[in-house]
Structure 1
Amino acid sequence: MFYQLYELNHAMMAPWRAAADAMRLAYANPLNPISHTYMGRAAAAGLEVFERTTRRYGKPEFGLPETLIDDSPVAVQERIVWREPFCNLIHFERALPKNRSADPKVLIVAPMSGHYATLLRGTVEALLPQSDVYITDWIDARTVPLTEGTFDLDDYIDYVINMLHFLGPDTHVVAVCQPAVPVLAAVALMESNDDPLSPSSMTLMGGPIDTRINPTAVNKLAKEKPLSWFRDNVVMPVPFPQVGFLRPVYPGFLQLSGFMSMNLDRHVTATKDFFEHLVKNDGDAAEKHRDFYDEYMAVMDLTAEFYLQTVDVVFMQHALPKGEMMHRGQKVDTTAIRKVALLTVEGENDDISGVGQTMAAQTICTNIPENMRLHYMQPDVGHYGVFNGSRFRREIAPRITAFHREHARSARPVRRVIKGGKSA
């Protein structure tokens, strides 16, 4: 019922949003003398703030038509190369010169935690000049009909394995935040099964591998409530007339409320500053605010089964670091990982995945050789700065691309077995 009330409220506000937008255009029109006065600018600013705080934000675009390779612009085209009901795989196809050697093939697994994959636009942009980039584009659960079945954490792991099979040998997988656990589980299962298409390396960034370490507010909430509380209070059926009508989901608007409540004072201040920038005609600052919140406010629904299983397995049971995680009857054994290089990245001020939670992967993957593992902690960045922003571009992205080149399977020395069981 709560989801239906939310939808009804949104529909009721539609005429007011339209009227506010029309009045804003009138007050901001340079042909209107009032637009050149403080009162006119303040009225236009207030109307824009109202319209933006009451709208539903649609899925943003990546908007990466080109990249720089060897200081020259190269066209980039987005292509969906693999499809399943709950995910598309997007390839950022670069128009490379024919004589250029192949770059590392990189699968970026975007978080399925409320925001769209476009939240990693900066990640993709930073890796494109030196990498052949693919990214998971998770589908909003409210747009998937019930006839397509369910989607849980086990399905997520299957999707990752299937995508690695599709991309073929010598692929590097990068997991940002939430997918660190399913990606590590997928790699462990592939190694346990001696899968020849296991990735050359995996990079885990700001992920909740072991949330017992430096627990954050998000981790503590999951421990304070029983699983039944989450099932009863945050899971709701998709309302009519959405395509996914009656599918049980964790709604995006509830997730957004949780995100914002964690730093409510910051968002209130940002909105106040936005109003003042508009009144002062500070277009650059106002546009930065629009760009950030167009992305931040665009959220998607998660399937209830995926959300509840993740809360249970990752945040309540801590099954992966305890060696107790199961996938379709098979134990997820991280000690089976031997051929996949491991890079873990954390942010010093991360308030979502505490310092040490991602590094825990280094501890539980005991059989990866020392020369195939690396941990990096970026000073002075929070969760968002682990995968976006100037420090990511300057400090983290170059380390990732260097790690990929160093640990490409094609670049590893071949161990030749000789008599006596020794190798050379």
Structure 2
Amino acid sequence: MTIRDVEHTPPPSLEGVGMGLSSPLYWFYEMTHVALNPSRALAHATHAFFKSPSNPVSSTTFGKSISAACELFERATRRYSQPEWDIENTVVDGRLAPVSVESVWERPFCRLLHFDRQVAITHKPDPRVLVIAPLSGHYATLLRGTVEALLPDHDVYITDWIDARMVPISEGRFDLDDYIDYIIGMLRLLGSDTHVLAVCQPGVPALCAISVMEANEEAHVPESLMLMGSPIDTRISPTQVNQVAMKRGLDWFRRNVITKVPFPNPGFMRDVYPGFLQLNGFMSMNLDRHLEAHSKLFQHLVEGDGDSATAHRKFYDEYLAVMDLTAEFYLQTVDTVFVRHLLPKGEFVHRGIRVDPGKVRRVALMTIEGEQDDITGLGQTQAAQTLCSNIPDEKRLHYVQPGVGHYGVFNGSRFRNEILPRMAAFIRAND
């Protein structure tokens, strides 16, 4: 199973998720993990025993079956941590260039990472690209393929959002206004010769941040803004995400999916939308597909098909690693973007001041959509072109990629072969 297999997966319906018991549910979830620790340790030891080459049973079908069953149990009950980037090098000017990942800016809820390429001194500086990763449940490593594709010809930075359950409550709140302030702070750090790539959810705060900077006539506005599958105006081609938000309303989400982080997590007592509830929704929508994938993993392990087993592990290590979102950020996003549509209606307010995308004049704008995107409907991202009415025509570009869903807009072969070359040309034209 690959991430592409869930490319057209509908978002969670949230029917019954939480059931009005979201607060104690998080505590039960934590206690279950603790209660399973002895069983997981036993499964791990049994797996190692039947996997060991020194055990004559390890080469038999019986031994392989026991080992495979123990691995599946351990993986099914594991809490998945943030994956590593695992980007050690790239190719620049036809030569292998080592890559190191370093943090260049930090706040309680986000780090700004730089993929530093060790290139020759004579190498001409490449365009600087700030990738704003989604804050929607998965870690920024979900964009590993996007970053890898950009690295040969761009100087890449990316937002690394922090799991809210790991942030002490003493660090204060984090809402959509703070998100916008974070983006503005990053742009001031990187300077005006920067190109912004906002993937999905951050399209709204990225556009708002640049609109605020333009309204204030700041010198550090970026050269360009590229929006990929972003829900700028969710009234256009509404998807299941939009319909659920409109049907339920904000109070339902507050009652059913918001809970407090339990002890002993660093964010103890912080109000969050927990990652395990998000994952439950996504998994339940395609439960048969996930069960089939794990059944195949068992077969691969017994048959000794290491490549297929490795591919499965790699996918699920990423897919099952989820993070909590602060309640104020999640609820404000649902309300302003999916329920009240404040930005396209000209009513979005940041720190008490109305945000006007019409103020954007100096920043080039590219909007990218997937023809089969069932998370961000066709036309929702293009709406930014209408809102930014004062950008010169020569600094605009809209592109719809045929044959891809939401994930295919920013990853996969279509992205690398068809979307990325257009993005690179757009960046060069406005650098």
The TM-score with structure 1 as length reference comes to 0.94
**What residue is the counterpart of 1:365 in the other structure?**
388
Deviation at 1:33, TM superposition (A): 2.9
Q: Secondary structure at the match of 2:231?
A: coil
Q: For residue 146 of structure 2, what is the amino acid of its counterpart?
A: T
Structure 2's unaligned 5+ residue stretches are 1-23
Aligned counterparts of 2:403 and 2:53: Cα–Cα separation in 1: 43
Q: Which runs of 4+ in 1 moved over 6 A?
A: none
Q: Secondary structure at the match of 1:124?
A: helix
Aligned counterparts of 1:140 and 1:264: Cα–Cα separation in 2: 25
Aligned counterparts of 1:161 and 1:62: Cα–Cα separation in 2: 25
Q: For residue 66 of structure 1, what is the amino acid of its counterpart?
A: N
RMSD: 1.3
**What residue is the counterpart of 2:400 in the other structure?**
377
After superposition, what is the alpha-carbon deviation per residue over 1:46-92, rounded to whole angstroms, capped at 9, x for unaligned? Answer: 22111111100011111111110112111111111111111111111
After superposition, what is the alpha-carbon deviation per residue over 1:291-342, rounded to whole angstroms, capped at 9, x for unaligned? Answer: 1110111111111100000000001001111111111111111111111111
Match of 1:110 among 120, 133, 137: 133
Q: For residue 246 of structure 2, what is the amino acid of its counterpart?
A: K
Aligned counterparts of 1:279 and 1:384: Cα–Cα separation in 2: 32
Deviation at 1:379, TM superposition (A): 2.1
Structure scoring higher RCO (CA < 8 A, sep ≥ 6) equals 2
Match of 2:344 among 316, 321, 335: 321
Query: Are 2:247 and 1:224 equivalent residues in the alignment?
Result: yes
Query: Are 2:297 and 1:277 equivalent residues in the alignment?
Result: no
Deviation at 1:138, TM superposition (A): 0.7
Q: For residue 50 of structure 2, what is the amino acid of its counterpart?
A: Y
After superposition, what is the alpha-carbon deviation per residue over 1:368-393, rounded to whole angstroms, capped at 9, x for unaligned? Answer: 22211111222222222211222222
Structure 1's unaligned 5+ residue stretches are 409-424
Stretch moving more, 283-292 or 270-279 = 270-279
Match of 2:51 among 9, 28, 45: 28
Q: For residue 331 of structure 2, what is the amino acid of its counterpart?
A: L
After superposition, what is the alpha-carbon deviation per residue over 1:121-149, rounded to whole angstroms, capped at 9, x for unaligned? Answer: 11111101111111111111111111111
After superposition, what is the alpha-carbon deviation per residue over 1:270-309, rounded to whole angstroms, capped at 9, x for unaligned? Answer: 2222222222211111111111110111111111100000
Match of 1:345 among 359, 368, 372: 368
Q: For residue 144 of structure 1, what is the amino acid of its counterpart?
A: V
Aligned identity (percent) is 60
Match of 2:37 among 7, 11, 14: 14
Q: For residue 191 of structure 1, what is the amino acid of its counterpart?
A: E
TM alignment of 1:186-335, pairs within 5 A: 186-335=209-358
Match of 1:54 among 74, 77, 87: 77
**CA shift in 2, pair 1:31/1:349, >3 Å:** farther
Q: Secondary structure at the match of 2:234?
A: coil
**CA shift in 2, pair 1:152/1:24, >3 Å:** same
**CA shift in 2, pair 1:380/1:39, >3 Å:** farther
Aligned counterparts of 2:85 and 2:301: Cα–Cα separation in 1: 26
Aligned counterparts of 1:261 and 1:370: Cα–Cα separation in 2: 45
**CA shift in 2, pair 1:367/1:265, >3 Å:** farther
Query: Are 2:192 and 1:169 equivalent residues in the alignment?
Result: yes
After superposition, what is the alpha-carbon deviation per residue over 1:192-244, rounded to whole angstroms, capped at 9, x for unaligned? Answer: 22111111101111111111222222221111112111111111111111111
Deviation at 1:95, TM superposition (A): 1.1
Stretch moving more, 394-403 or 98-107 = 394-403
